[in-house]
Amino acid sequence: MVSETLLAHSRRHGMPEQTYRTHVTNVHSRAMLNAQKAVAFYNGDRNAFLGWIEAAALYHDLGKLDVANQNVLEQNSRNHLPINHSDAGVAALWKLKRKESAVLVAAHHFGLLQKSEETPPNKKRPFRDEQDLANFSGYTVDEHVDAHLSYYLTAHQKAGLCIAAEENNGVLHRCGFTRRVALSCLVDADHGDTACHYKKEAEIPKIEPRWNERLLALQRYVDHLPVGNTKREQHRNRLRKQLFETCRDASLDLSIRSCNAPVGSGKTTAVMAHLLRVAAERKPELRHIIVVLPYTNIISQLVDTYRNALVLDGERSEDVVVEHHHRMDVADLGLRQLATLWKAPIIVTTAVQFFETIGSSHPAQLRKLHELPGSAVFVDEMHAAIPSHLWPQMWRWLECWTSDWGGHLVLASGSLSRFWELPEYIDIICSSDSKSMPRVSDLVSDISFHNELKETEERRVTYRRRSEEADSRGLDCHGVIQFVQEKPGPRLLIVNTVQTAAVIAQEMRGSGYDVLHLSTAIAPAHRDLIIERIKLRLQEKIANWTLVATSCVEAGMDFSFRTGFRERASTASLIQVGGRISRGDEFENAEVWDVLFLDNRFRNNPSVLISRQALDHFTLHELNRMHSAELATLALRREWTCGAEERARKLVEDEDRMEYPSVATQCRVIDTDTRTVIIDEFLAEAVRKGEMVSKYELMQYSVQIWANKITKLGLQPVIQDNNSEDSKIYVWKYDYDPDFLGYMQGVLKLDDFLASGGAII
């Protein structure tokens, strides 16, 4: 028998059960608060948006009132509920013509489905096909639920809860970005209340933005930076100060801006000054500033700068400026506290996190999206943020966010690719509506200042290649080492994969050369230590050594080497290596070499295939005479004809057709399926026991490994459960070298073992 107290959650984790009334009341309050904060910036029908969320919050768990479900909840069983608890809310809302609310309820656990799907995942029994609903979202309603719907609604009312009113028009909204924001409001409320009930999350205190005060603090920070000793240093620092003032004082009339300033010109602080002014002077005041970077390893460096410059007296720096690494949007209740929710005034995150969240269909990943309306975003090193074929659809979402949801965007790079000016991109971006492309102007409008920045950049480095005949053969590992060692140091060699980097670094050290290695095979905590060693060597002007690294160092790192080498990849990557060579114009005749590799111990990176083909067509004359922004933009056009156009069109078409899972799959910024792997056994054991582990500690002592390598390596999940594979966290069981090769120490030993006839059992 079901008790008189209807339940939403059973007793678990040492915590008592939660009543249905309490949970629905809490979710309704949280969801409406989320929606009201977001809708303050919305240019559409605000009442309709609030209505979608209110009805969905009231009915999202209606199916838990089924007698069979209540029996499971009362027994404190970990068994799945026998009746899918979303179905009842979907059926009730569909009958009320609240179709958008029904879609939100259907998606709050399964995620946004697609038209072509016949049934949602994990269905245990045959379901009656309700044509209208199935044709939209792939969702069907069980006959059992239909037969008991009036019972659920009566029980819902007897619990003291409101019922939803019928809607007049009953149509579906067509904007996928707005639907994702609405789902985020509901999911954050539902997941958050559940996690707080089980003490897996704590309420996050609000930190006041205090934008004007932070702008003044940033000004003081910049004013106290050293002016330099040599004339070259003083000249560059004068340009940095001028860029800061120019960006700070730029007009606020446009919502999308660019910043085309070369390496070492101070974009980090200059663009932040502009965004702080926007945040303070926009009405209503903006909510967050989100800084997006292409690589995880440069986040900590930037976070340190912002914490030193922007945190005010009496504040904890980690509350004001937060860093968001890796893909930790896990759905499992025991790990949900590790999700970063974009609540702080200033968030520094990765391109993977930011762009994949915008295009996601998964509720756990979308949970933070409702914080984006009314926020400002700075995409730094945008040339490396996402593959070229993703920009048309991403641009459509970003334009919707800036025009309909009060967003402000700045795209910046030392090799800025102005794709929004290319007819090929415009054709796709504007293909399905009558909107014209928004105007995008650079924060630096003074042509003479632009030219001065350009001239300073042009004299720093020269791009080189081996002879055409030698280049066509490619270099094996021995040839790479010999070629690199012939050039003056300190030397920086950047390659396309962690395997290639590890093989070269190991061989180089084995040959007696002084070498350091840096890649994502090393956990962030240990990468930070290696980065400090690199900086110390450069400061002490030690010459005869080499850093072998992956692309994680090609952007945003404050390194300055004598000679650079780049395994052929994209044009923008080659230009960015130039940003790590003679960064302060301190080396004469500094060179960057574009090199082809060929060795069966190396690994190819399929994600650079299209961009590499585009670079093949550039001559040395073009590389050395064209401005970096012109090169990057021309490279995008050439990539378009090498295969990017077809992928871009499919993504835009699938979004228009509301094929959300397909869109999410195509929106993977890194076209590889990776898993989080903990490299510290003590930390893995703490997670295994269900102990509270900080998200920072987990990020610092874990790495990302391709999913197809997990089985090959025989890695096991930290927690054995039934969650989807992409939400599982694994533990490393082989050798790990924190000072040099990271997990590749174990992989290379394992490769040798397998090559000699061994096997993993």
pLDDT averages per 10-residue partition of the chain, 761 residues:
76 88 97 98 95 97 94 82 90 92 93 61 35 44 84 95 84 89 97 88 84 97 83 80 94 92 84 97 95 81 92 92 64 44 91 93 94 97 86 95 97 86 87 70 84 71 80 85 95 94 96 95 92 94 95 80 92 83 82 91 79 83 82 81 83 93 89 81 88 80 87 84 67 94 92 51 36
CA angle 711, 716, 717 (to 5 degrees): 120
Is the torsion defined by CA of 50, 51, 55, 56 positive or negative? Answer: negative
Contact 193, 27 (CB under 8 A): yes
pLDDT at 123: 40
pLDDT at 134: 39
pLDDT at 394: 96
Secondary structure element (H or E) that encloses residue 102, with its range: helix 99-110
Domains of the chain: 7-197 (1.10.3210), 211-454 (3.40.50.300), 460-644 (3.40.50.300), 674-755 (no CATH)
pLDDT at 456: 67
Beta carbons within 10 angstroms of residue 202's beta carbon: 10
Strands 546-549 and 515-518: parallel
Residue type, 76: N
The token duo for 184 is 């985020």
Q: Cα-atom radius of gyration of the chain, to the nearest Å?
A: 27
Q: What is the C-alpha to C-alpha distance for residues 730 and 443, in angstroms, rounded to an integer?
A: 45
Query: Which residues share a beta bridge with 348?
Result: 291, 323
**Closest C-alpha to 739, from 517, 511, 499, 495:** 517
Q: What is the C-alpha to C-alpha distance for residues 144 and 83, in angstroms, rounded to an integer?
A: 9
User: Token match 């082989």: residue?
Assistant: 734
Contact 303, 321 (CB under 8 A): yes
**Closest C-alpha to 519, from 224, 297, 193, 750:** 297
The token duo for 404 is 């309909």
pLDDT at 297: 67
Q: What is the C-alpha to C-alpha distance for residues 554 and 578, in angstroms, rounded to an integer?
A: 9
Strand order in the sheet with 590-595: 461-465, 590-595, 563-567, 491-494, 546-549, 515-518
Size of the chain, expressed as the number of residues it contains: 761
The token duo for 628 is 């970096």
Count of CA atoms in the C-beta half-sphere (13 A) of 319: 11
DSSP-derived letter for residue 250 is S
Query: Cα dist. 731→249, 523, 551, 725, 744 in Å?
Result: 50, 13, 25, 14, 15
Q: What is the C-alpha to C-alpha distance for residues 358 and 107, in angstroms, rounded to an integer?
A: 16
400 Cβ partners below 8 Å, 6+ apart? 175, 177, 178
pLDDT at 130: 38
pLDDT at 752: 65
DSSP-derived letter for residue 640 is I
Contact 717, 730 (CB under 8 A): yes
Distance, CA of 190 to chain centre:
23
Residue type, 86: S
Strands (E), 119-190: none
**Closest C-alpha to 409, from 255, 269, 285:** 255
